[in-house]
Structure 1
Amino acid sequence: MVDPDEKDSSGNPVPSRALHIVGPDKKIKLSFLYPASTGRNMDEVLRALQSLQKASMFKIATPANWKPRDPVVISPSVTDEQAKEMFPAGYQTVDLPSNKKYLRLTNV
């Protein structure tokens, strides 16, 4: 991919760097596009890959700035009964101002 706004010393467009993570189902699960002026962060690439792998194995989502071994969010579509079976080590329900009990955290 070429970034038309970024030019080298000869005036030629400089390529951007693209990263696509494709799942076993042959669908793109994540896409990063870095302009030539922006460095790439391999820690973020690995973090995103690990998050995608966990989400494909469990019905969870990872919060912003999540790191491996940090708690994950159990999908609201999972009932409490299902969560007890899926996560035998347990989970914690976050107290919310609305008193709704849908935000549950666990370690996987």
Structure 2
Amino acid sequence: MSLKLSDTAPNFQIATTTGDIDFHQWAGDSWVFFFSHPADFTPVCTTEMGRTAQLAPEFARRNVKPLGLSTDSVEEHLKWIKDVDATQNTTLEFPIVADADRKVAELYGMIHPGQSDTAAVRSVFIIDPQKKIRLTMTYPMSVGRNFDEILRVIDALQTSDKSRVATPADWRPGDKVIIPPSISNDEAKTLFPQGWDEIRSYLRMTSL
């Protein structure tokens, strides 16, 4: 199954380190950072899980729930969490899906045979409160994710949704944003009374 942007994220029921969940019910009205890792007790994955736990206040501030996944069992996950906490100086509290039969990994296209026939690659799905897939990223097994970028794109998506804007390359909160070409100048005057810089007719920059 090839999932695309704006598709509804497939629902599933499965065991996790915090108990059984129905994904859509668990997500509720929150955004979700759903990410897979190849295996427990491996070095890159340990740093990624630790970093996600360390960033718990940042995810919470954005109304985002992290959800991890690998094809290991709940028992293995729970043992590994102790190692993550000890080595990464954190307390991991978000759930990790135990996908031993690879049901969810296959559903979300996380198994890439060129990398492994049984372990998930480092997939990222950012899912909004309407359960729509808003962003996907896939990292190879040897490369850890950039969590600054993950938070940045969540900020960009939420800003775009709230203010009907687009964000330029390398945008960070507080930077100028783009008024989309689909918004006429007349409508823009109402939406953006602060005005804008018209660099080109198709490139209008404004501050929020």
* Equivalent residue, structure 1, for 2:205: 105
Q: Find the partner of 1:20 among 113, 119, 125.
A: 125
Which amino acid counterpart does residue 103 of structure 1 have in structure 2? Answer: L
Q: Matches of 1:68 and 1:90 in 2, distance apart?
A: 19
TM-score (norm 2): 0.44
Q: Which position in structure 2 is the counterpart of 1:93?
A: 198
Superposed displacement of residue 39, structure 1? 1.6
Q: Deviations over 1:59-102 (max 9, x none)?
A: 211111111111111011111121111112221100x4xxxx22
Match of 1:36 in 2: 141
For residue 67 of structure 2, what is the aligned residue in structure 1? none
Matched, 1:68 2:168: no
Distance 2:130 2:118 in 1: 34
SS in 2 for 1:46: helix
Structure 1 residue 2, shift from structure 2 partner: 3.9
Identity %: 41
Q: CA deviation at 1:3?
A: 4.4
Kindly provide the amino acid, as one letter, of the partner of residue 21 in structure 1: I
Residue segments in structure 1 that go unaligned for 5+ positions in a row: none
The structure in which a higher percent of residues are helix is 2
Q: What is the rounded CA distance, in whole Å, between the counterparts of 2:127 and 2:163 in structure 1?
A: 18
Q: Which of the two has greater strand per residue?
A: 1
Question: Could you list the runs of 5+ residues in structure 2 that have no partner in the other structure?
Answer: 1-109
Q: Which residue of 2 aligns with 1:77?
A: 182
- The offset of 1:4, in angstroms, is 3.6
> Higher relative CO (CA 8 A, sep ≥ 6), structure 1 or 2?
2
Residue type of the partner of 1:54?
Answer: T
Do 1:71 and 1:105's aligned partners in 2 also have CA atoms closer than 8 Å?
yes
User: Hey, what's the Cα distance between the residues in 2 that align with 1:13 and 1:64?
Assistant: 36
Kindly provide the CA deviation profile for residues 29-65 of structure 1, in whole angstroms up to 9, marking residues without a partner as x.
0111111111210010011001100111122111111
AA of the residue aligned to 2:204: R
RMSD: 1.8
Counterpart of 1:61 in 2: which secondary structure? coil
Alpha-carbon distance in 2 for matches of 1:19, 1:6: 16
Instruction: Give the counterpart letter for 2:145 in structure 1.
Output: R
